[in-house]
A = this chain, B = another copy of it.
Amino acid sequence: SFKVEKFQLQRGRRRRGSPCFGESEGLVKNGIGDADGIIIVDHGSRRRESNLMLEEFVKMFKEKTGYPIVEPAHMELAEPSIKDAFSLCVQQGAKRVVVSPFFLFPGRHWHTDIPSLTADAAKEFSGISYLITAPLGPHNLLLDVVNDRIQHCLSHVEGDADECLVCAGTNKCKLYNSS
B residues in contact with A125, CB < 8 Å:
178-179
Looking at the complex, which one of B29, B54, B107, B167 makes contact with A158 (CB distance below 8 Å)?
Answer: B29
Give the contacts of A43-92 with B (CB-CB under 8 A).
Answer: 45, 47, 49-50, 53-54, 56-57, 60-61, 64-65
Given contacts A145-B139, A160-B30, contact A175 B16 (CB under 8 A): no
Asked if residues A119 and B4 are in contact (CB atoms below 8 Å), the reply is no
CB distance from A168 to the nearest CB of B (A): 10
Looking at the complex, which one of B53, B106, B131, B142 makes contact with A145 (CB distance below 8 Å)?
Answer: B142
Asked if residues A134 and B159 are in contact (CB atoms below 8 Å), the reply is no
Asked if residues B155 and A98 are in contact (CB atoms below 8 Å), the reply is no
Given contacts A30-B160, A146-B102, contact A57 B137 (CB under 8 A): yes
B residues in contact with A162, CB < 8 Å:
none
Docked CA distance A15–B162 (Å):
13
Whether a CB of chain B sits under 8 angstroms from the CB of A18 is: yes
CB distance from A150 to the nearest CB of B (A): 5
Whether a CB of chain B sits under 8 angstroms from the CB of A104 is: yes
Docked CA distance A149–B152 (Å):
26
A interface residues, Cβ below 8 angstroms from B? 2-5, 7, 9, 15-16, 18-19, 29-32, 38, 40, 42, 45, 47, 49-50, 53-54, 56-57, 60-61, 64-65, 96, 98, 100, 102, 104-108, 115, 118-119, 122-155, 157-161, 164-167, 172-179
The 10 closest A-B pairs by CB, nearest first: A122-B178, A134-B166, A133-B149, A133-B153, A15-B160, A128-B178, A53-B105, A18-B159, A129-B175, A141-B145
